[in-house]
Amino acid sequence: SLSREELALLPAAAISSLSPRRSMSGHVGLGYAPGFDPLLIVSQIVAMQSLMYLDLGLWMLVLNGLSGSPVAAIGLEHFFSHRSIRLSSTGGWISIVAFFLNSLAGGCFLCVVVERAKKCLDFTATTHLIHLCCTVLYDGFPGSWEWWVVNCVSVVVMALLGEFLCMRREMQASCRDVASRSTPPHSGEHPASLRLGPTHVPTAAGHSAV
């Protein structure tokens, strides 16, 4: 540990680099730029990935039930196999519609989990990149053009909807903040200047005038 005399000799920039920085989320980190919190980012990625797969499974169940297809036949191949997305079968169309509806739900998840419009595209790309890795591990590299079209459209829809919802939420918060600052005091409250007592001004005769 450095003594006070040694710290006094250090440049101000070096001292500031030794101090922990506080991120926007309130967590303290060492050496990270303001607003950068690795633990928060990882937790958001895990939350987004979990919500996306849960929602996709829900749409698979609903659409298969509505179409009369056996719900028990739904397996991992419907999530991670590029062969399940094709235009030549009813099951393929169900998967296409499920992925599209999942992208709409993903935009809503971005508004709740990420809450920042400028980060929506990054989290959308990360979510689909992780899905691509899972697909490669499960069934090899996707060679179906239908799979690529569906996922590219999903990226665009999810990112645009998430940015729109987050921007609207940020604008509403800004409007509420401006309105709260410009709101006049209540009728029962008076400014400090009005609560002051009478001012006594001394006169030349030695008496005070109100």
**Which position has the token pair 């008496």?**
207
Question: Each residue of 121-131: pLDDT tens digit?
Answer: 999 999 999 99
Report how far residue 67's alpha carbon sits from residue 96's, in angstroms, rounded to the nearest whole number.
Answer: 14
Q: Which domain holds residue 165?
A: 44-177
What is the distance between the alpha carbons of residues 200 and 207, in angstroms, rounded to a whole number? 9
| Residue among 110, 113, 125 at smallest CA distance from 163 | 110
The answer to whether 180 and 186 have CB atoms below 8 angstroms apart is no
User: Residue 208's beta-bridge partner residues?
Assistant: 202
Total count of domains within the chain = 1
202 within a domain of the structure (yes/no): no
pTM of the model: 0.68
Q: Is 55 within a domain?
A: yes
Answer whether residue 72 is part of any domain.
yes
pLDDT confidence of 100, banded at 50, 70, 90? Answer: very high
The model's pLDDT over 156-165, given as tens digits with 9 standing for 90+, comes to 999 999 999 9
Q: Are 128 and 155 in contact (CB under 8 A)?
A: yes
